[in-house]
Amino acid sequence: MILKFIYCGKIDVTNLLGSELLKLLIAADDLNIQILIICTQEYLIKHWHEFLQQNFTKILEMIHHSESFTELWNFYIDRICEEPEKLFNSDMFININANFLELLLRRDDLNLDEIIIWDCLIRWCSAQHSHISQNYDVKEWNEDNVTIMKRAIHRFIPLIRFYDISPEDFISKVFPYKELIPRSTYGSTLIERHHFNTLASWIDKKEILTYNIRNIPYNFNLLYRASRDGNTAAAFHSKCDNKGATIVVIKISNHANQIVGGYNPLQWDSSDRFMSTRDSFIFSFKTIGEVGYSISNQFSIGCYSAYGPMFGVGIDLYLNNDGWRSNKNGYGSYPKIDIPVDFNADDYEVFQVIKK
């Protein structure tokens, strides 16, 4: 049939089955007959829609290696992104190619809740190893199971938007798999566990008996890291707005491991206004921890779209385009503590504070 097209420039495909059209498409690709590739794809999409839907796993495996099948590729991608449940909740999901799964997870228009994506990813990774797929209970996994799952899930972890997962779902559905997730994904690269114990104690205004790892009442979920997500006000607000209470942690450049930051018990947004609270604070970790609670109820937290984190109307601690600044006189909303007036940061992180 394809020889007839080569010699005559015409071909009748109306009597061909879907499987035969696919064979024709592959042959046309092997011979680089572009006009036949284009026309066959268009005919398949127009007249064999159900066949394409029923065999999409097989067809995707067949076409994803070639750059010629653009129409079919876009056909599948668009429909999956519009109605991803049909794929992600189906039995065939566990059989899709790893490269194709990665491509889907990179899409910003994938219309699926992030926690469902996470659940499906765990299911897909487990299914690639039969002895794990029969046991979804992570508590019963041995060390070899954890190692295998780490390797399977590693390439996909950066594609999961953990900041879009609710605190409740994060604790119940993500945290049990913490061994699979690099600490830098949801933990800090700037401070240690004992710092979080102190921060939790300051949140609850405990002055004497501080929390320890066994009784700390909060989880800290990494929303944003400047070096990872982009050191801009827009990136900060994209990741951190409307996430509830947060801790900002800043590593000062050239200051002997000094860490500073602040606690916002309300939320960040882009409303271009100040918000009121007496429960916010700024802090500094150097040789010892130092904290300063809000002393001005009216202007404790600044939420401005053009700026990063802002604590206090008197520029107590905030980030603008030129770097971090702090009021040397302490005439703002917080008492003066050991924070440099103007400084650069090696990096800064923002953590969502989640009550256990």
Between the alpha carbon of residue 221 and those of residues 135, 148, 239, the distances in Å are 27, 25, 12
- What is the H or E stretch that residue 98 is in? helix 98-106
User: DSSP assignment, residue 109?
Assistant: T
- Predicted TM-score (pTM) of the model is 0.63
Place of tokens 């938007």: 161
Burial of 279 (0-12, 13-18, 19+ CB in 10 A): middle
pLDDT at residue 273 in the model: 95
Give the pLDDT confidence score for residue 68 in this predicted structure.
Answer: 84
Domain residue ranges in the chain: 1-82, 96-186, 189-355
Which tokens go with 289? 């921890």
CA distances (Å), origin 59, targets 25, 313, 335: 11, 60, 65
* Single-letter code of the amino acid located at 329: N
pLDDT confidence of residue 286: 87
Residue 137, φ and ψ in degrees, nearest 5: -75, 105
Q: Tell me what pLDDT residue 223 has.
A: 94
Q: Which residues of the chain have pLDDT under 70?
A: 1-9, 133-136, 184, 186, 328-331
Q: Maximum Cα–Cα distance for the chain, whole Å?
A: 91
pLDDT at 205: 94
